[in-house]
Amino acid sequence: MNLIERVIAISRRRSPWICRLNAGSCNGCDIEITPLLSPRYDAEQLGIELHGTPKHADIVLISGTLTLRSRQAILDIYDQVPSPKAVVALGSCPSSGNVFAGSPLVLSESLDNVVPVDVWVPGCPPRPQAILDGIARAAQLLEDGSTKSQIQGQRQNLGGRLS
């Protein structure tokens, strides 16, 4: 790894820009993201910036129960995020559907079957510290080049070179 690649890798950890995606949440997790930007938890210390558009994001925070209608939206928005990227699942809903599991309009599968999830932040809703910790861990994965999408990309590159 040469010097510029090393600097870029460090920058990925030091400047994780996040984008929220509400996949059918009760808004509890989204309300818990807001204090991250407030004086108490001040996410800017870690270089975290909240961006409205997935094109500027490195980390997508996906919250809420997956519904039949949000599945395609998640895929679309995930595709718009330029790689390298990481996905953080907020709360219990993306993994299991939580209390909404079994409802007729709820997709009864884990978020991991839709997009590759790197960090799960448990809780209903998770505390702001836990969310901050999840983002920091995802940023560390981005530096190491070991998010699921990065590993998949490396495999594809390798496959292309071998064939």
Partner 1 sequence: MSAVWSYLVAIAVWPGLLFAAPLGWLELWFMRKLVARLQGRQGPPFFQPFFDVMKLLGKETVIPKGVNRGIFLALPLVSLAAVTAALAIVPLPGNPVPSLPGDIVLLLYLMEVPVLCEVLAGYVSRSIYGQVAAMREAILSLAYNLPFLVAIIAMAQVAGSFQMRALQEVPYGPVHLLAALTFLLALPARMKLNPFSIANAEHEIIADSHIEYSGPPLALFKLSHAIEVVLLTELFAVVFIPATPWPPVNLVVYLVAGILVLGGVTLLATATARLRLTQAFRFYWIWGGIASAITMAATLVR
5-34: which residues touch partner 1 (CB under 8 A)? 5, 7-12, 14-15
Report CA 23 to chain centroid distance, whole Å: 12
- Contacting range for partner 1; rule: CB under 8 A; set: 28-36, 48-56, 61-69, 87-95: 48-56
Check residue 144 for interaction with partner 1 (CB under 8 A).
Answer: no
Plot region of 29 (φ>0 → left; ψ -120 to 50 → alpha; else → beta) = alpha
Taking every pair of Cα atoms in the chain, the longest distance, rounded to a whole number of angstroms, is 53
Kindly state the smallest distance separating residue 154's Cβ from partner 1, in Å.
14
Using alpha carbons, list the distances in angstroms from residue 80 to 47, 55, 65, 101: 22, 6, 21, 28
Considering only 27, 56, 101, 108, the residue that binds partner 1 (CB under 8 A) is 56
CB of 98 to partner 1, least distance (A): 28
**Residue placing its CB nearer to partner 1 in the complex, 29 or 139:** 139
Of 18, 75, 84, 130, which one interacts with partner 1 (CB under 8 A)?
84
Which of 1, 2, 3, 45 binds partner 1 (CB under 8 A)? It is 45
- Tokens 């998010």 belong to which residue? 147
Starting at the edge strand found earlier in the chain, the sheet holding 49-50 runs 49-50, 17-22, 59-63, 86-90, 119-121
CA distance 114 to 130: 23
Q: Would you tell me which residues interact with partner 1 (CB under 8 A)? A: 5, 7-12, 14-15, 38-39, 42, 44-45, 47, 51-53, 55-56, 58, 80, 82-84
